[in-house]
Structure 1
Amino acid sequence: MHQRFTAEQLATGSILIALAVMGLKAAAWMMTGSVALLSDALESLVNIGGAVMAWFAVRYAQRPPDAGHPYGHHKAEYFSAVAEGIMIVIAALLILNEAIGALNRPSVADWGYAGLLVNAAAMAVNLIWARVLLRAGGRLSSPALSAGGRHLMSDVWTSAGVLAGLVLALSSGWAILDPLLALLVAVNILREGWLVIAASVNGLMDTAAPESERVRVEEIIHRSAAGAMQVHGLKTRRAGRALFVEFHMVVDGAMSVRAAHDICDRVEAALREAFANAEPVIHVEPEHKLEPAGIKPR
């Protein structure tokens, strides 16, 4: 079903899901007083902020190019993902503060399994939505949706570990497990925050498209640039959903401009058919610009 959703609809859904999960986790914490469940709820609070930022970023990134942004607004999603990563780190620091304080006052006297079941329901909702976001983020090449999906999956694993530990604490009476689990949650969240920030900063630095996409681009050029002598200097970069492709195409110097332009049109059409948001730029050169190595069209 998620394949019919647009990025904006998914971002809106993320806000609603985050609010629902936050409510469930807050209820679980109030039912138990567990600092580990409090830490889990605090992470969901970050999810709400991240979902709101992703919603704004996805809408802004869809704006068409204008005079001030001739290459489009695609990178707005990377800024959203960086901001979410920073929020994740802040949440981890807050959890560390709570956990360290609770080490001196561990208690499980008033706990019951009802609160844990509520938290488990929240975890199940997060798992389902995380899988939706990860698949849609890849399909739509959306950094904001992918970052949200990775964060939710981290939240799921955190919740699973917390629940397992708290069940052990209830059955064994080892109250110290509660703040210790909160410390582990904080470390895991710090790690996830770093990964989200690092991945997004790479996008802002104009890193090349993934290897699988570069191989596919080369194959498309190889079969669609018939009539050209060589293609070299291939460069790619991802900017959100946009794939920028730039290369030099060598043709016979006696070839007419119209014939060379027809080849360019054919290559561009093939690239845009394979990549919905491809932005190819082709520089045509005469035969004396041949390089020792390059792509030789069929």
Structure 2
Amino acid sequence: MFANALNDRISRVAAANIGVALAVVSLKYVAYLVSGSVALFSDALESIVNVMTALTAYFAIRMSAKPPDSDHPFGHSKAEFLAAMFEGAMIAVAAVLILIKAYSSLTEGETLEQSFLGLGINSVATIINAGWAWALIKWGTDWRSPALIADGHHLFTDVITSVGVIIGLSLAILTGWSFLDPLIAAIVAVNILGMGYRIATDSMSRLMDQAASPEIEARIRGAIEANGVGAVQAHDIRTRQAGRALFIEFHLVVPGSMTVDEAHAICDRLEDSIEKNIEGSEVVIHVEPEYKAKPEDSGAVPL
């Protein structure tokens, strides 16, 4: 029931993200139209990418929320990583288009019109983006949604580049150095190209079953130590992240004289504790006899 409520909440935020992206790109495009600035054009083009990635994230989140089935017994949660990889690719496309526009402007020249009005409109869009980026990162972290986190970091980078565009274009207007406008656009393009690379490589790493963070693994070990009374040790603790799901498995060594019922009771206690302590986790425990115990320097948890 809780998981369904969380999935619904994430889906609603992803849907709202599309609306915010459309509003921001509209404002930024109007800013470009009234000013003719290629730097503002680059900012608007990145926001068009935001709309595309917001749509992709929404459908990926809906897909990841689907329950396991016969073809996907571990669920569909990795769909969010695919969305994040697509976002990285779209950012790279936007960077190339911006560079083409900047080169054209440098070689052919441009005339800025009503630049301060364009900057004012762009500033409003940037403020909206900043607030929404902060909210997406917070919600994505709290709800362990890679797609929301990726979108939030993307928007935050967009905010930083927008601030740079506003400052640089203001300088170009005040000094009359019109070449600064396409130069700023080129800098924006290189910056978002790097951002796209980071998002894509991080998503690729997670698709390859990246382990949980050291902080999460420390919590797992703590839960095992606190609730493994009666067992000898736990070893070969392994984790893999798949969207909002975290799969945890380890070997639990118990005394050879212990009954199956007693060992099963310890496993139930460990599973309940870990899954309550780490939201979205799924635990698998393999029970072994005493002679399978490993030395503590191997990373085993003594109990």
Q: Percent identity?
A: 46
Answering whether residue 252 of structure 2 is matched by residue 258 of structure 1, we say no
Contact 1:106–1:179 (8 Å) recurs in 2: no
Alpha-carbon separation, structure 1, partners of 2:47 and 2:274 = 40
Question: Residues 79 and 4 of structure 1: is their aligned pair in 2 closer, same or farther, counting only changes over 3 Å?
Answer: closer
Answering whether residue 150 of structure 2 is matched by residue 147 of structure 1, we say yes
Alpha-carbon separation, structure 2, partners of 1:123 and 1:88 = 18
Counterpart residue identity of residue 119, structure 1: N
Aligned residue runs from structure 1 range 183-198, under 5 A: 183-198=186-201
Alpha-carbon separation, structure 2, partners of 1:109 and 1:287 = 78
Secondary structure, aligned partner of 1:6: helix
The corresponding residue for 1:176 is 179
Normalising by structure 1, we get a TM-score of 0.97
Larger deviation: 152-161 or 272-281? 272-281
How far off its partner does 1:9 sit? Answer: 1.1
The corresponding residue for 1:105 is 108
Answering whether residue 126 of structure 2 is matched by residue 123 of structure 1, we say yes
How far off its partner does 1:180 sit? Answer: 0.1
Structure 2: where are the runs of 5+ without partners?
A: 1-5
How far off its partner does 1:112 sit? Answer: 2.9
Counterpart residue identity of residue 296, structure 1: P
The corresponding residue for 1:75 is 78
Contact 1:78–1:144 (8 Å) recurs in 2: yes
Alpha-carbon separation, structure 1, partners of 2:131 and 2:11 = 18
Secondary structure, aligned partner of 1:169: helix
How far off its partner does 1:110 sit? Answer: 2.1
How far off its partner does 1:4 sit? Answer: 11
Question: Residues 90 and 126 of structure 1: is their aligned pair in 2 closer, same or farther, counting only changes over 3 Å?
Answer: same
Counterpart residue identity of residue 192, structure 1: M
Answering whether residue 301 of structure 2 is matched by residue 287 of structure 1, we say no
Question: Residues 136 and 5 of structure 1: is their aligned pair in 2 closer, same or farther, counting only changes over 3 Å?
Answer: farther
The corresponding residue for 2:280 is 277
Alpha-carbon separation, structure 1, partners of 2:214 and 2:260 = 33
How far off its partner does 1:111 sit? Answer: 3.3
Contact 2:36–2:112 (8 Å) recurs in 1: no
Answering whether residue 299 of structure 2 is matched by residue 296 of structure 1, we say no
How far off its partner does 1:275 sit? Answer: 1.4
Secondary structure, aligned partner of 1:207: coil
Alpha-carbon separation, structure 2, partners of 1:5 and 1:79 = 20
The corresponding residue for 2:247 is 244
Contact 1:238–1:244 (8 Å) recurs in 2: yes
Answering whether residue 98 of structure 2 is matched by residue 95 of structure 1, we say yes
Answering whether residue 262 of structure 2 is matched by residue 231 of structure 1, we say no
The one of 42, 45, 52 equivalent to 2:48 is 45
The corresponding residue for 2:218 is 215
The two structures, once aligned, show a CA RMSD in angstroms of: 1.3
Alpha-carbon separation, structure 2, partners of 1:39 and 1:68 = 43
Alpha-carbon separation, structure 1, partners of 2:21 and 2:166 = 19
* Deviations 1:133-162, CA, capped at 9 Å, x for gaps: 111111111111111011101100010000
Task: Report the number of matched residues.
Answer: 295
How far off its partner does 1:78 sit? Answer: 0.4
Contact 2:37–2:112 (8 Å) recurs in 1: no
Alpha-carbon separation, structure 2, partners of 1:241 and 1:227 = 32
The corresponding residue for 2:168 is 165
Contact 2:35–2:112 (8 Å) recurs in 1: no
How far off its partner does 1:105 sit? Answer: 3.1
Counterpart residue identity of residue 69, structure 1: H
Answering whether residue 65 of structure 2 is matched by residue 62 of structure 1, we say yes
Alpha-carbon separation, structure 1, partners of 2:8 and 2:139 = 8
How far off its partner does 1:22 sit? Answer: 0.5
Secondary structure, aligned partner of 1:194: helix
Secondary structure, aligned partner of 2:302: coil
Alpha-carbon separation, structure 1, partners of 2:7 and 2:124 = 26
Counterpart residue identity of residue 117, structure 2: A
* Deviations 1:91-133, CA, capped at 9 Å, x for gaps: 0000010001111233344233111000000000000000011
Alpha-carbon separation, structure 2, partners of 1:110 and 1:242 = 51
Secondary structure, aligned partner of 1:245: strand
